[in-house]
């Protein structure tokens, strides 16, 4: 599976890892019984969660050569990464919260040796200890 959830905390956040020249689709709205989990998509919801969206709060990435990484919310480009780096958006008070209900689409372009690991803050009808809507 191109996108792998490495940590998924109920009502709080999850960490997603995408590597190689693959792309990934992360389903952020709905619940674990209505969202498909297949070879190209992973579902954010666990157990009895019902999510209305997610914010990007942190990212760590690496690309070699002319590679780059695109993050889209639905069809809308929200971030582009190249080279290597790390950014904690929420720690700076600036989570990427544009189009929070759209699926997160990750495109790894131009390199067979790229990766991105990022954290999504869950949004739903629950109280998160980290961020308030």
Instruction: Find the distance separating the first CA and the last CA of the chain, reported in whole Å.
Output: 31
Q: Which CATH number fits domain 3-124: 1.10.1670, 2.60.120, 2.40.30, 1.10.10?
A: 2.60.120
- Look over the chain and give the mean of its residue pLDDT values, rounded to a whole number: 82
Residue-wise pLDDT for 75-133, tens only, equals: 999 999 999 999 999 999 999 999 999 989 999 998 888 999 999 998 887 755 555 54
Polymer length of the chain: 133
Rounded to whole angstroms, the Cα distance separating 92 from 96 reads 11
Rounded to whole angstroms, the Cα distance separating 11 from 128 reads 6
The pLDDT score that the predictor gives to residue 90 is 93
Rounded to whole angstroms, the Cα distance separating 20 from 34 reads 29
Show me where the domains of the chain are located.
3-124
């Amino acid at each position: 599976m191109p996108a792998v959830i490495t940590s998924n905390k109920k009502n709080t956040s999850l960490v997603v890892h995408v590597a190689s020249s693959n792309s990934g689709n992360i389903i952020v709205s709905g619940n674990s019984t209505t969202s498909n989990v297949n070879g190209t998509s992973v579902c954010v919801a666990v157990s009895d969660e019902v999510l209305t969206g997610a914010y990007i709060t942190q990212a760590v990435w690496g690309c070699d050569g002319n590679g780059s990484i695109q993050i889209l919310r639905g069809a809308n480009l929200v971030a582009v990464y190249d080279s290597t780096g790390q950014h904690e958006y929420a720690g700076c008070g600036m989570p990427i919260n544009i189009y929070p209900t759209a699926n997160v689409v990750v495109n790894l372009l131009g390199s067979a040796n790229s990766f991105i690991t990022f954290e999504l803050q869950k949004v739903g009808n629950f109280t998160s200890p980290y961020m308030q809507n």
